[in-house]
């Protein structure tokens, strides 16, 4: 558009400006679509006290003895999920890229299964399977929690595999591995000096997406009677007026902070992005 306006300013300019108008309009409409509900929720959350705007709802939320335990339980679950998921996904994705590229579509399909199966179906299937011997895992709260984390690991596969896979594609693992091998490196040296450092951003983005899922997950935790953030929030909605909104804003802030960290770390190693650009 801009190049054509050089040749004949008079005729070309109106469409060009209209174009800019249009894009602004779209931008504003889309922004409103996101901002209005968010603003309304925030406004609502500030009305915890009669006739004044303030942070009363937030104070009550944090004062609730069930909130922080639920919150910390979710965070611990999320971290455990991330660890397990990384341990399974990174070596798998690395090996598939390196040695079994033909298997990629199969692995990709398997990692997508959590998208295909609705959470409610998944949870009843899991409860049926694991609530009788020999795999009796729903007997105690803690064993259920382990089971829950395992389910979350499966739920994280689509995000984790995709992030790691993208990261692996961006660095030509195969050639880098071979270069390192011919220079005398053994497997640990290749993994820790070459592969992991170059996957930092990918690992982080996969981890943070997983974090966001686990923090907000409701259905499965609810049916497995876990006291995590999701069921806590659902319960809150039923019994309180303003606190759920405050809770939503807190959850939003956490997610936002997570995105901020991705962006920050991503910028720190923007050399990967540039490297891909110039190729």
Partner 1 sequence: MSYLSISHITKQFGDTVVVDDFNLDVEKGEFVSFLGPSGCGKTTTLRMVAGFEIPTAGRITLDGADITEKAPNQRNVGMIFQSYALFPNMTVAQNIGFGLGVRKEPKEMISQRVEEMISLINLEKHANKYPYQLSGGQQQRVSLARALAIHPQVLLLDEPLSALDAKIRVSLRAEIRAIQKKLGITAIFVTHDQEEALSISDRIVVMNAGLMEQVGTPFEIYNFPQTQFVANFVGSLNTANAEVSDPVKGLVNVNGVQFITASDIKSRKKGDAIRVSVRPERFSFVSEEKKDNVLDCVIENITFLGSVVRIQVRIGEAKFNMDTFNNPFLDLPKIGSKEQVTCSKEAVLVLDE
Q: Interface residues with partner 1 (CB under 8 A)? A: 171-172, 175-176, 178-186, 189, 193-194, 197-198, 269, 271-272, 274-275, 278
Nearest distance from residue 2's CB to partner 1, in Å? 28
User: Of 60 and 272, which CB lies nearer to partner 1 in the complex structure?
Assistant: 272
Q: Which two tokens stand for residue 235?
A: 């319960």
Q: Which two tokens stand for residue 63?
A: 């004062």
Q: Which two tokens stand for residue 74?
A: 């979710």
User: Of 7 and 175, which CB lies nearer to partner 1 in the complex structure?
Assistant: 175
User: Of 75 and 265, which CB lies nearer to partner 1 in the complex structure?
Assistant: 265
User: Of 173 and 250, which CB lies nearer to partner 1 in the complex structure?
Assistant: 173
User: Of 164 and 220, which CB lies nearer to partner 1 in the complex structure?
Assistant: 164
Nearest distance from residue 261's CB to partner 1, in Å? 20
**Which residues, other chains included, contact 118 with Cβ-Cβ below 8 Å and sequence gap of 6+?**
none
Angle ∠(278,103,210) on CA atoms, nearest 5: 70
Task: Round to whole Å and give the CA distance between 171 and 198.
Answer: 7
User: What are residue 54's phi and psi, to 5 degrees?
Assistant: -170, -175
Nearest distance from residue 21's CB to partner 1, in Å? 38
Q: Which two tokens stand for residue 68?
A: 């922080």
Nearest distance from residue 156's CB to partner 1, in Å? 25
Nearest distance from residue 258's CB to partner 1, in Å? 24
Task: Round to whole Å and give the CA distance between 171 and 173.
Answer: 6
């Amino acid at each position: 558009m801009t190049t054509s306006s050089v040749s004949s300013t008079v005729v070309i300019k109106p469409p060009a400006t209209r174009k800019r108008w249009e894009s602004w309009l779209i931008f504003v409409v889309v922004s409103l679509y996101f901002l209005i509900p968010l603003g309304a929720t925030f406004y609502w959350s500030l009305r915890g006290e009669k006739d004044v705007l303030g942070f009363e709802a937030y104070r009550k939320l944090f004062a609730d003895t069930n909130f922080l335990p639920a919150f910390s339980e979710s965070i611990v679950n999320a971290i455990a999920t991330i660890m397990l998921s990384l341990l399974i996904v990174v070596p798998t994705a690395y090996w598939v890229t390196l040695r079994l590229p033909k298997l990629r579509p199969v692995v990709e399909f398997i990692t997508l299964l959590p998208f295909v199966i609705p959470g409610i179906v998944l949870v009843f299937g899991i409860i049926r399977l694991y609530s009788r011997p020999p795999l009796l895992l729903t007997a105690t709260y803690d064993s259920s929690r382990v089971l829950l984390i395992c389910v979350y690991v499966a739920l994280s596969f689509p995000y984790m595999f995709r992030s790691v896979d993208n990261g692996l594609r961006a660095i030509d693992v195969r050639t880098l591995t071979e270069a390192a091998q011919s220079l005398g490196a053994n497997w640990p040296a290749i993994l820790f000096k070459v592969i992991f450092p170059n996957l930092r951003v990918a690992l982080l983005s996969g981890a943070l997406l997983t974090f966001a899922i686990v923090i907000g997950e409701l259905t499965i935790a609810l049916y497995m009677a876990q006291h995590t953030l999701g069921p806590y929030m659902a319960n809150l909605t039923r019994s309180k007026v303003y606190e759920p909104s405050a809770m939503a804003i807190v959850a939003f802030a956490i997610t936002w902070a997570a995105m901020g960290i991705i962006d920050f770390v991503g910028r720190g190693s923007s050399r990967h992005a540039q490297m891909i650009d110039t190729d």
